Structure 1
Amino acid sequence: MHWLFLVFAILSEVIATSSLKAAAGFTRAAPTAIVLIGYLSSYYLLSRALETIPLAIAYSVWSGVGAVCIALIGRFFYHQPVTLSLVAGVALVLAGVLVLQASVGSHPA
């Protein structure tokens, strides 16, 4: 169940972050509301996930998967270019998540 909280925390954070551009510096009401509700929901759901998932794992998955999703949204919705450095950065983020998971998983709580 807590992994489901983490999945929805990631989705909420990605929706909120994606809406930042549309909020235009918080001058547009609807996108601003989406940003605020999205971030509040994301942090609440992340806190629920942390009840059983180790902090290093939950946060690295939350931020890593979120960063990858935002990179994809930037590409497909905002037509931002895919550069070698973007691909390398995404690969490093994913590698970091895997290393943290392996590190935390190898030590008893």
Structure 2
Amino acid sequence: MKWLFLIFAIIGEIIGTTALKSTDGFTKIYPSILSIVGYIAAFYFLSLTLTLKYLPVGIAYAFWSAIGIVLVAIISYFLYGQKLDMPAIIGMIFIIIGVVIMNIFSNSISH
């Protein structure tokens, strides 16, 4: 259940962050509502993930942020035409590698 809640939290964060660009400083109502609802869902499901006490907050946040960074960058590429240069791509690869290393080798995570 902890991973399912974390996935829902990540989806909410991706929706909220992606919609945030379209809000124009919260002057556009529909993207603003989508952004706020996305963040509310993200924090709600993250709180459920942490309530289960099987996933430390640092580990949960590492997964959340790593997956969020990569997916928001990919979505922004297609939705907003934002380009990623090679250093940005390499940096995101390092973030993913870091999370994989934590997941495989860390004793902080209950496997």
How does the TM-score come out when normalised to structure 2? Answer: 0.87
Aligned partners of 2:95, 2:80: CA distance in 1, in Å?
A: 21
The Cα of 1:79 is off from its aligned counterpart by 1.3
Partner of 1:6: 6
* Distance of aligned partners of 1:26 and 1:88 in 2 relative to their CA distance in 1, 3 Å threshold: same
Q: Are the structure 2 counterparts of residues 35 and 106 from structure 1 closer, same or farther at C-alpha, using a change threshold of 3 Å?
A: closer
AA aligned to 1:85 is: P
4+ residue stretches of structure 1 with deviation over 2 A?
Answer: 98-108
Q: 81, 85, 93: which one pairs with 2:87?
A: 85
Secondary structure of 1:53 counterpart:
coil
How many percent identity over aligned positions?
Answer: 37
Q: What root-mean-square deviation, in Å, do the aligned CA atoms of Structure 1 and Structure 2 show?
A: 1.8
> After the TM superposition, which of the residue ranges 16-25 and 90-99 deviates more from structure 2?
90-99
Distance apart, 1:101 and its partner CA: 2.9
The CA deviation string for residues 47-80 of structure 1, in whole angstroms up to 9 with x for no partner, is: 1111222222211111100000011011111112
User: How many angstroms apart in 2 are the aligned matches of 1:29 and 1:15?
Assistant: 15
The count of residues paired between Structure 1 and Structure 2 equals: 108
Where does the alignment leave 5 or more consecutive residues of structure 2 unmatched? none
1:106 is displaced (CA, Å) by: 6.0
